[in-house]
Structures are given as C-alpha cells and as structure tokens.
Structure 1
Amino acid sequence: MQNAQHPYGALTPDTVIDAVESVGLFSDFRQYPLNSYENRVYQVGIEDSAPLIVKFYRPNRWTSEQIQEEHDVLLMLKDQGVSVAAPLSFHGQTLFEHKGFFFSLTEKQRGTPLEAGDLDQLFAIGELIGELHHATESWQTQHRPNIQASGHIQQSSEFILHSGFLPKKLTSGYQSLIQEVLTLTTKTQQNSPAKVRFIHGDCHRSNLLNTDNGLVLLDFDDCRMGMAVQDLWLHVSDSDAKQQQLSELIEGYESHHSFDTRELDLIDVFMAERHIAYSAWIAERWADPAFPTIFPHFTGEDFWRQHVGDLEEMVRQWGKWR
C-alpha cells in the first residue's frame, strides 16, 4: 500500500493566509475549508471586502503550463459570456506560487446545489454545456493530456492489482473482467465517431451551482480534449429514466451546439473507465490523511465486492443507451 508523505502537511492555516496576502490582499484571518478531495480549497476573509475562494493545487499533479491553460480557457469563456467561475487576476497574473504550492483565487459563488433528475435543471445543464462546447469549438489544449479510455482502464486496473487493496480471492475474477471490459471498449470505440474536442472533463452535478443568475459551471481542474458526451452522461442519475434524462440534456445542448447521438454508445466506455479509475485514484491518494477519513470502507472486502459487482452489471447492460 502507499506510504508516500502526503503533499499537504505544509499547508498550515498561516501558509494559507500568507499565500493570499502575497498577491497584495489583506486578510481578516478568517478561513473555512471547503469540500475538495484532490486539491485544497478555502474560503478566506478579506478586509473590507467579500471573502474569496483560494484553491491550492495538489503538488506534482499539474505543471504551471497545464494550470495556466485551464485559466486561459476560463477567462476566454467568461469574456464570451459563458457562466463559469474564472480565476481573478492580480498584477496581470492568475496563477501564483507560495512555499511550493500553486494557487489561484476566485470570487465566492452564492447558490444552491442541483437536484438529481430534475428535468428542468437537466435542460439548463445541457444548455450550459452546449454553450461551453460552442465557445471552445476551435480550442485545442497544448499541455493537457488527451487520455485514451482503453489506456486509462489498463493503467488504473494495473494500479489496483498491485496496490494491495484488492482482496486476493477477487484477483483472478477481476483480471478476467477487466479483459472483457477492454474488449468491449475497443469494439465500441471502433464503431463510434472520433471527433475530439475540448471538454470540462469532470462535469458532475457537484461542479455546478444554481444561482440567482442561472447555473454556474465550477472547477475545470480536469479539463482536456475528449468527447462531447463525456460532459453530459454524468448527469444521468436514474437508469430507469435514462432515456428521458438524456433527451432533456441533449435538447438543451442542441439549443447552442449540435450533438452526434452516435456518441451515446461511448457512455458504457466512459462509465467503466470512471468506475475503475475512481478506485485507483483513492488507492493512489491513500497516504493523504483526508482519504481514509472520507473513504473508511475502502480497505474492506465489501467495498471491493461491490466494485466488482457494479462492473459486472455495466458489462451486462453494455450497448443499451440508444
């Protein structure tokens, strides 16, 4: 299992305040940690002003060029009127470094979480993603990796197999299941359109906020090149109503940008990829003390039996999105 020293041990409350003040702001020393697993995010009070959100990027995950590329597209989207939470600029910069941590600041967004399966909200989500994809139609990332699903599945499953978390009694069945998933993935990708474009990359419900001015899209930390459907399918919350939910999403999307429905066949690929990669991500981050607290059942056999069972069900349901 992983024993590497976790990267946030040096991110003390004083370091947070010092980082914020290093850009020329004056803090009132109030800070409140916000829900974030991969990075660390805080609301920090500012003297005689509204509090700001400061995001500290996980060390050694992205280069400064990769983070700046994220910032550049967010500023471009904001200029075009797309509702996103863009980084603030100080002295002509949006990305800063303090004591080994890259960080950025944004305005605090006030709103409420979205409700799973709400058809009106799904239409609005589709609209916002359609706006995003229309505005970035010609955008090409230069520094962000274009992750291939089959390679990501292979890499993540290998990490799981060598991590020590998967019970030995499940290993043989898991290996066979991964091979079946990879075969299905290859076949599905060969028969689907291959138009790669800029995507948010992690567009689930928690990365959207319902404000008085409409939806706001948050956290482009995983933005990259990919397929349009990858920004849509995570909003399908009920397998029994998936056709209706997809219909609302696509109808909203196509009010701003065309959608190739052949991409729906790829949902099975991306669902399996995310399921496998998610468990590998927890295993890889286990040395971060936040992870054992957030995922206390990860080391138990029940977790892994559920993981394998869910993957088996995905294989059984493969090819039923259209």
Structure 2
Amino acid sequence: MPDTALPYANLTPSLILDAVEACGFQASGALLALNSYENRVYQVGLDDGSFLVTKIYRPGRWSDAAILEEHAFARELAELEIPVVAPLPLAAGGTLLHYADYRLALYPRRGGRPPELEDPEHLRWLGRMLGRIHACGSQRLFRHRARLNIELLGTGPYHYLIEHGFIPPELEHNYRQAAEQLLGEIESIWREVADWVEPIRLHGDCHPGNILWTEQGPHFVDLDDCMIGPAVQDLWMLLSGDRSDMTRQLGLLLEGYSQFYDFNALELRLIEALRGLRLIHYSGWLARRWHDPAFPMHFPWFNTPRYWEEQLNTLREQLERLEQPPLEP
C-alpha cells in the first residue's frame, strides 16, 4: 500500500492513464488535475475527443463497502432522474477499480457555474432537488457509511488538535475553554431534539461548491461524504449573510423542498449547532491531512498564530449564535 504519510507519492500521470485504460476507455494522454484535496481528481481526455473525470480515493479513508454505497446512492438518485453525477460502469463490471494499490472511479464530465444564492428561483429549485434527494434517501439507511454525530464532527477533531499540539501554547487555554463550552452547548441542543429527528441518507457536504448550475438547472457532485443524519445538514450550508438574509433564503429553500418531502421544523434548532461542529471539524480535517504535501502548499495560512486567533474569535461568536432562537422561515 502507499505510504500513509505520502498517500499519493506513487500516483504518476502514466499510472492514472493506465488505470483509465484498465477501466475500458482509451485515453489520449491529456490529463488535467482538478481542484480536490481529500481525493485526487483528474479530467482525462479520450481518443474520441471526449472527456471523463477520474476520482482516486485517498488510501485508507473508506472501506470498499462504504465507497460502493456512495456509488449505489448516486446511481439510485440518477435513475430517478435527479441531477446527480453518478459513477460510470467499468469494463470489468461494477464502478470501483483497484489498480496499483489505489482505488478509483470514473464519472462523466459535467461543467457548470455555482448557484446564485441571491436568486429566489435558484433557491426554490435547489429546495425541490434536495426534497427529491431526501425523499429517496429516507427509503432506507446506509449500512457502511458514517452517521453524523458530535464525536465524528466535533469532539474527535477537537481532541486531535489538542493531542497533536496544533494550538499555540499561548492560546491553548482560551481555545480549550471556548471549544469545550461550544461542544457542551451543542450536546445540550442535540439532546433536546434527538428523539424527534429521523435520520436519512444525505449528500452530507452540500455546500455551493458541490452544486453546478447550467441552463438546465442544478446538478450535484461529490457524494464522497454522504452519510446518515438530519435533513437540515443538506440545507444549512446554503444559508449565508445576516439573520434576515438566512431567514429569507431558508423560506425559499423550504418552499421548494416541501413539494417533495416534509421538513421537520424541529431540525431548525440544529442549524447553528451544525455550523459550530463544522468550524471545529474543518480545523481538525486540515490538521489530520497536514502530512500530505498538498495541504501546506494550498493552505499556507493554516496553523499560524493568526489562524488560531481568528478561530478562537469565531468559536466565541458561534457561542453567541447558539443563544439566539432558531430561524423561523
């Protein structure tokens, strides 16, 4: 297996092209790295002039069973004519190839631009699509994918940061205090609503960068973080601005969403809790990947004193957000 400290050290252009041909496609030799850090993603030119995209999974992150559940969910959505980019079938059968100690999948190339989240019709349209995704996702649960919880997104990353010495000594006491207070408040909120929330299969990482817009409307990409959790996890990352902005955006999203799936209003209590978890998780994700040379190269501002000072202030601000009543669209 590849060295876990340098997970992509042996991933050469010729290996990528050979792997694509092992999948049953004739590569022209054209290869373009796309913007991805957790996995490695490339646009590959084919002899017939067309293109496809190959995703090479980070070694050791997911089991084969978890990856295949991701693929099956994407294909299930695509069969319902929900605009999700699903993996292509391979020449040897299935959708996942093992090649030279790596695992990869191939996808059709789909372009587009980010959604315009100030456009009411874009928000309604996104709401309709997410309602359809969740109507499908509610039919059964994953067996091998992660379940969204505080340990996964909050306490686990927090302890990693502390135990591996990422917080500067002069800030560690205050950071610990703010993070632990935030996590405690999130746990209280979670307990309030846990018995009333029905977990479903989710996209899991539904931020605007994973939605591409064309004249035909939106399509969703990158289900690499699909998981089991509350429906609001796929909605809150589309909200931005001040409280009045988010209230308006949420109302438009739910206007479309409710045409296809019933939204549990109690989940609105989780929006700021989920935002708080993501703040801690993001720092923990960067820390866990810091041994990968791509991360210091592309995130040079991480792990600087200024970064941690800003994070401390952000955690304190998030505590204040948690004290506010939930949004009411």
When the two structures are superposed, what TM-score results if normalisation uses the length of structure 2? 0.94
Cα deviation 1:76-103 (Å, max 9, x = unaligned): 1111111100000023311111111110
- Counterpart in the other structure of 1:321: 326
- Counterpart in the other structure of 1:48: 48
The answer to whether the 8 Å contact 2:153/2:278 transfers is no
Match of 1:235 among 225, 234, 238: 238
Match of 2:294 among 290, 298, 307: 290
Structure 1 portions without partners, runs of 5+: none
How many angstroms does 1:150 deviate by?
Answer: 4.5
The answer to whether the 8 Å contact 1:149/1:270 transfers is no
- Counterpart in the other structure of 1:25: 25
How many angstroms does 1:116 deviate by?
Answer: 4.1
**Aligned partner letter, 1:198:** R
**Aligned partner letter, 1:121:** H
- Counterpart in the other structure of 2:307: 303
1:130 aligns to 2:134 (yes or no): no
The answer to whether the 8 Å contact 2:115/2:218 transfers is no
Aligned alpha-carbon RMSD (Å): 1.5
Secondary structure of the residue aligned to 2:218 is: strand
How many angstroms does 1:4 deviate by?
Answer: 5.8
Rounded Cα–Cα distance in structure 1 between residues aligned with 2:138 and 2:286: 33
The answer to whether the 8 Å contact 1:150/1:185 transfers is no
When the two structures are superposed, what TM-score results if normalisation uses the length of structure 1? 0.96
- Counterpart in the other structure of 2:84: 84
- Counterpart in the other structure of 2:213: 210
**Aligned partner letter, 2:24:** G
**Aligned partner letter, 1:320:** P
The answer to whether the 8 Å contact 1:150/1:182 transfers is no
Number of positions where the alignment pairs a residue of Structure 1 with one of Structure 2: 320
Match of 1:269 among 273, 280, 293: 273
Rounded Cα–Cα distance in structure 2 between residues aligned with 1:301 and 1:117: 35
**Aligned partner letter, 2:175:** Y
Cα deviation 1:203-260 (Å, max 9, x = unaligned): 0000001023211010000001000000000001212411101111111111111101
Rounded Cα–Cα distance in structure 2 between residues aligned with 1:237 and 1:15: 42
- Counterpart in the other structure of 2:260: 256
Quickly say closer, same or farther: Cα 1:117–1:293, change in 2 above 3 A: farther
Give identity over the alignment, percent: 34
Rounded Cα–Cα distance in structure 1 between residues aligned with 2:10 and 2:150: 35
1:140-159 correspondence runs (5 A): 140-150=141-151, 152-159=153-160
